[in-house]
Structure formats: structure tokens, C-alpha cells
Chain A
Amino acid sequence: MEAMIALAGNPNCGKTTLFNSLTGARQHVGNYPGVTVEKKEGIYRLNGHRFNIVDLPGTYSLTAYSLEEVVARDFLINEKPGVVINIVDASNLERNLYLTLQFIEMGMPVCIALNMIDMAYSRGIKIDHEALSRLLGVPVVPTMARSGQGKEDLIRAARQVLEKEGGRTELKISYGPDIDVGLDRMEAIIREADFMTDTYPSRWLALKYMESDEQIRCLGKQRDAQTAEKLEGIVQEVANHLQLTIDSFPEAIIADYRYGYIRSVLKQGVISYSGDRNRLFVSDKIDKVVVNRFAGPLIMLGVLLGLYHFTFTYSEVPVAWTEAMFGWLGGMVDTYMSDGLLKSMIISGVIDGVGGVLGFVPLIMFMFFGIAILEDSGYLARVAFMLDRVFRTFGLHGSSVMAFIVSGGIAGGCAVPGVMATRTLKSPRERLATLLTVPFMNCGAKLPVFALLVAAFFAEKEALMMFAITIVSWIGALLVAKLLRTTVIKGASTPFVMELPPYRLPTFKGLLIHTWERTWQYIKKAGTVILGISIILFALMTFPRLPTDQTAVFDAQREALRAAQPASIASEPDAAADGTDLSEAARAVHLQLLKIEAAEAEAALRHSIAGRVGTGLETLSRWAGLDWRTNIALVGGFAAKEVIVATLGTAYSLGAVDPEESRSLSETLARSPQWRPLTALSLIIFVMFYAPCFVSLVCIVREAGSWKWGLFSMVFNTILAFTLSVAVFQVGRLAGF
């Protein structure tokens, strides 16, 4: 037998744990068509049967308000899974059954997994699952997803539901006399007109109309405007009547009666409590300290710093390995390929570009692992709870903090995992505002630029300046978030109504699966696009090449230099390529040669498209005090911010610039006539706010679900950065700096 099983349930009911336990590593993560909601599928085999298991997004209800709910609902209606396994948290039965009722009302073949039955028992809750099964008319199987107990019984029960085709008992809940009469009338009309009955059950349609469900009403209008109007008329009648008699509305009454129904079921011997139902459990005792007014923020600071430390310290070694591996690969190509355009494209374009992206992989894995621990243990919800008041002021959400921290909120993160960390945010508008503003944080690649400039121009106030830079980026990000939320992403804040789940020890398997699937998505998506873009950027910085008459000038200079030396000294630099063990005179020659090479590189760069763009932009950038060399560095910085310092080095004719030599670059800048502290300040501001690097951009596009937002952040951020740095430069100039 082959069948599709959908797993559904509230968030935090142990759904993912059960899914992992059923499918193990045989899972596939994708997206539901057209939206960014994750769709997880996996295969479970039992006695030669093959079950395709789909993990639906965790929801509390099935309204049309949130994306997750619409997705879950559409999936059930369109894909018609053979059975819906509804995972229900046994220690939280009353609220969990609210969703169950909606599945049953939809006419779905349901099988209940009464999960975490052990936890309920330890909390003094006893559940008669057979009574529950009898009253609801669906099978109920006690399970413990963490240990996998009850898993096979559950699948067996699900199979029975699968085989019992058509023999479903339809549950008809009474919603009180007024609504019931309305529903009956509507159902009759729906049946008579065959109104969307091919896809939806008639009673459910009537109910959704009564609940003023936007999605269904829209569909109804398109299908059969006349019938839709009739139905809406009835709803209006009922609504008016309820308004007059009990000052309420259908939607509210339906929810009341649903909970009323659940309570009446539970009272019929299903559940019994020993001890106080709301007594404090371990979790509540932990919360007394963890969200305490004074201790809470301190602990939070410690935890966030810990995550940060964990991610960026422990990933250093594997990041170095990856870098070494790509370095080795580049070396191999360098040794075994003949010189030429193809070789330099493979080294500078492909290996450096793709290597730059894949170099992030260990970092991303560590970050996701850390976040998975915070998320699965329940701590993340507490962070959101504590910080919501602050972030809401700027149109964001308490959960936004994680993304900001990871992106470099404590200087030195990375916007790529930061953008991806916004996934823990469930409110769409707040999420979009967060992922568009996290690139303003000072990531590890911007830091060298700041360090260079601060060392050159503000050496006596280094620590203070770096701190100020962090503060300015936070203020900027929050204000831009506020701006976005009052303009392009306008809209009321999504209700915060959120559960604080009990603390749970995350399962190691769950953490690993969590970490790996997110990392793999990054590798797949960013890895493929970046290859093409790296090649394009390489081409932009290489073509058109210097005309031969110009290269001839440099060749002539080299020849002249060599010719001026005795033969033994002139050939020495070639023999010992690394520049060591040279005689005094040969070293001077070597240095001269490097200078010529750098000058040639500069000329070539200036001649390339990127260089021409940089030169062309000078008329504009002069307003911010920046010259064409800086412009080229900034254009290159779009590929990766690490490029800025390197390109500045090349453009300022300093020959090979490696991090150890950045001091000398800063000295040169400090002595250069084009540079003064104000210029440095202007550049710092520009680098802080301008377009996110390409990898971040790819992630933004992916997470926001459209190129539109990627383009927006590129253009908007650059204009913002330019405006700010012009303002800084011009005001500073007028003030006499």
C-alpha cells in the first residue's frame, strides 16, 4: 500500500519530533508553491507499506489569517491526504482539540496522536483515550514522540482510517439556535446550487461563510456571485440579529461554542486532574528567574553573548579549513594550468567566489545549531517576550533581536545567517522589516574597513569610535525599520498572542536535522547563483583589458629596470619568487618590480568596466568626499565586503595587500592628501549602510520571496548610505573639519 499521511497540530506539540522519528534522515525540505512556508516530506515504511509523510506547518486554528494556516488548509483540500494524523499535546488537551475539531468539521479522515502522555501523567493529568475516541468518533493513540513509543500503533490506527474509505462519521457541532438555523439555510442553498461542492464539504462552506472567512468568500464570489451574495445576505441577517440581542458576532460565538463543545467532551470522563491544575511546574519555576525583571535581561545578555561567542569562536577552525581547502584548490589550478584568461577566471572568479560563499558554511552551521538549541528549548520565546516592548516601538517584533545579533549587532557577525534567522519570526510584516534592516549591522567583513579607517584617522579614540559605530548602526537599522513600517510595509502590527512553551531538553537528532536542512538550503541556493555572479563580477573587473600599447609601457619599464642592473641581480627575484633570501640590491629591484606591477594593476582596474563605473561615479561621490579609487573598492564590496580593503589596497598602488599589511595601508591613507578624518567618517557611514553584499542579497530574495525586495534593499540602502555620507561630509566641511 502507498498512501499520503499529513501530520498536523499546534506549534510545540511535538509534531516535528514525531516527524523526525518516523522519517529519520529520509526527508525532503521544500517550499509550498509560491510562498516561503517550509514543506517537509519524508518516507516511512512499515511491513512493506510505503507512507509519504507531509509535515504541515504548526497552527492553532485553520482561519485564513496567517500564511501557515492557509497553506495547511489548501494542502488538505487540494492534496486530499489519505489520513491526517493530528498530534495533540496531552498536557494541553483543551486548546489542542480546538484544531482537531476543525479538521473533523472539514470532513478530514483524522487519527489523533495523544502525544507527551508521560508528561501529562507527571503533571497529574489522567486521560481516558478510549472515551475520547468514542466521543469524537476518531481513533486516539497515546504516543511519546521523544522516545518513539506508540509510533507503530499510531501508523496501524492510521491505516485503519485509510482503509475505512467513506465510513466517516460527520461531526455536527451546535453553535446555538441563531447560527444553527442560518447554517442549515445556507447548507440547503449550497447543495441546491452545487456551490463549490466539488472541492469543499457543504457544511464547512456554510461555516466558513458564517466566520467571514476572506479566502472562501473571495473564491465564492468568483465562482458564483449570485449564490455568494445570497449566503452573505444570510450571514448579515444572523449577524444583525446577534448584534441586537446579545451584542456579539457570529465569529465570536462559533469560537465560544467550539470551546464549549470541547469542555463538554472532556467532562464526560475523558480527563481527570489530581492536584491543582495551574500549579507551578519546573518550567514555571525556571521562568521565575529567567524572565525576572532584573535577572531576566542579564541572563538574556549572557545567553546572546554566549551564542555569539559559540558561533564565531568555534567556527573559526572549520572556516579556516574550508578556506585552506579552496586555497589549495586555487594553488593546484595555479600550478597545473597554463597562464591565461581561463585560469585567472577559474581562480579569481570561480574558486574565490564560490569559496567565499561556501566558506560561510561552517559558520552558518554553528549559528543554526545554536539557534536550534534556543528555539527547541523554548528560550527564544522568552527572549521575544522580554524584548517585544522595545522592538515594537520600531514596528518590529520581540523575535527580531536574534537576527540583529547574528548579523553583527555585537559587531562582527554576518548578515547571511542573520537574514536566515528571521525564519523564527511568524509575523510577515515584522519579518520583512527585520530582514531588510539586518544588513545594516556591522558584520565581520565590514569591521576591517572600519578598523583600517579608525586606525588611520582616529587612533587615539579607537575603542570609543568602534563602540560609536556599533551604536550608530543599531540606531540606523531601527529607524529605517520604523520608516519601512510606516511606508512600504505599512500595516498594523501582527498580534503578539504567543505561547510560552514549557522548557524542553532538545533532542540531539532534532537539532542535527534542523541544522543540516537549513545549511543545505543555503549551500544549494546561494551556491548555484553565486557561481554565475562571481564570473560576471570577475569579468566586470577584468574587461576590457588594457590595450597592448599600455601594457607595453609597463613592460618597457620592467625591462629598463632590469637592464639598469647587473645581470646577476636582475635575475635574482625570478629565481626566488617569494622574495626571501635576496641580496640588498635585489630586494630593491624586487620592490620596484612590485610597484610597477601594482601600477599596472591599477591601470587595468581603472580601464575595466568596474573601474569606469568608479571613475564615472566620481562626480557624484565627490559630494561625499570619496574619489574614484574608493568607488571601485565599494563597487567590488558589493560582491563581498571583504573586497573593500583589498581593492583599496590595489587602487592605492600598494601592491599585494594582506591583512597583516593593513597598517601600512592605513598609514598611507593617513598621509594621502585626498584623505582627512571627515572623509574617513563619510566612508564609514557609507560602508555601514550601503547595499548588502551579494550573498546576503540572494538570501534576502529567497527569504522575502521575491526579487523585488532584493532590488529594493540594493537601491534603497545605497541611496540612504549616499545621502547620509553626503550629509556628514557637507555638514562637517561647513563646520570646518
Chain B
Amino acid sequence: MPRVNMRQMRSKQSGTIAAITAAGELGRRIRDMGLVPGTRITVQGRAPLYDPVALRLMGFTLTLRNSEADYIDVEVDD
């Protein structure tokens, strides 16, 4: 299972969160929404200008900016 940065994930690609490297408010916001190591995510799509990105996790849809996705490492499935 290769480990990549979330920004590099393709649309419809799935994976498991490996690490969140953000601290402070951003880190807190990311974790509060359930993005913690071990959570399964799927990239649902991107906004018309390729940013922000929409994720599917735990049965709901979450959006974050690419600059925020930079702090998230994911072990992708393929």
C-alpha cells in the first residue's frame, strides 16, 4: 500500500488515513471531522477549479482545500 499525500489522490481513489501532520486550529478541525489515522476515505471529486476536494468518509461528505489536504497522508488501496 503506497503512502501518498492527499493532494496527489485521484478522483474516486480510496485509502486509509496514515497521518495528520497539522497542529493548531487546522489540525483540530481536521480531526474533529473524523479524519484521524485509520479512517477510510474516498476522494469523491474536486470543485470546478480543482480545489477544494470533496471526500467521502464514515457516510458523509467533507470538503477541504488542497492546502489543507497537504497535511494528510493516506495509504492508498491500489
Contacts and interface: CB of A to CB of B under 8 A. Distances in A.
B16 to A, nearest CB: 13
Contacts of A500: 54, 60-63
Most buried by A among B44, B59, B64: B59
B31 interface: yes
Contact of A388 (B26, B39, B47, B62): B47
B20 A252 contact: yes
A390 B63 CA distance: 16
Interface size class of chain B, counting residues whose CB lies under 8 Å from the partner chain = 35 or more
Contact of B65 (A95, A297, A388): A388
Interface stretch (A57-65, A332-340, A718-726): A57-65
B59 A499 contact: no
B36 to A, nearest CB: 5
Contacts of A277: 59
Interface string B32-56: 1110111110101101111110101
A264 to B, nearest CB: 12
Nearest to B58: A94
Contacts, number: 120
B29 A497 contact: yes
Contact of B58 (A65, A95, A251, A496): A95
Contact of A497 (B30, B38, B40, B45): B30
Nearest to B23: A249
A495 B44 contact: no
A91 B59 contact: yes
Contacts of A123: 59
Contact of B68 (A61, A98, A495): A495
B28 interface: yes
B48 A63 contact: no
B56 A385 contact: no
A606 to B, nearest CB: 54
B48 to A, nearest CB: 5
Contacts of B56: 278
Most buried by A among B28, B34, B52, B62: B28
Contacts of A293: 48
Nearest to A294: B48
B78 interface: no
A499 B36 contact: no
Interface residues of A, number: 43
A492 to B, nearest CB: 8
A65 B33 CA distance: 14
A60 B60 CA distance: 14
B65 to A, nearest CB: 5
B34 A63 contact: no
A10 to B, nearest CB: 10
B47 A98 contact: no
Interface in A95-110: 95, 98
Interface in A58-113: 60-61, 63, 65, 91-92, 94-95, 98
B48 A386 contact: yes
Contacts of A278: 40, 42, 56, 59
B54 A385 contact: yes
B36 A256 contact: yes
A487 B36 CA distance: 35
A255 interface: yes
Contacts of B77: none
Interface in A114-138: 123, 125
Nearest to A247: B19
Contact of A92 (B30, B51, B58): B58
B30 A95 contact: no
Contacts of B28: 61, 63, 65, 251, 255
A60 B32 contact: yes
Given A98-B34, A389-B49, A497-B29, A92 B59 contact: yes
A259 B38 CA distance: 10
A499 B52 contact: no
Contacts of A125: 59
A386 B26 contact: no
Nearest to B35: A497
Interface of B: 20, 23, 25-34, 36-40, 42, 44-45, 47-52, 54, 56, 58-65, 68
9 contacts: A61-B28, A65-B29, A252-B31, A256-B31, A278-B40, A287-B44, A497-B63, A499-B61, A502-B61
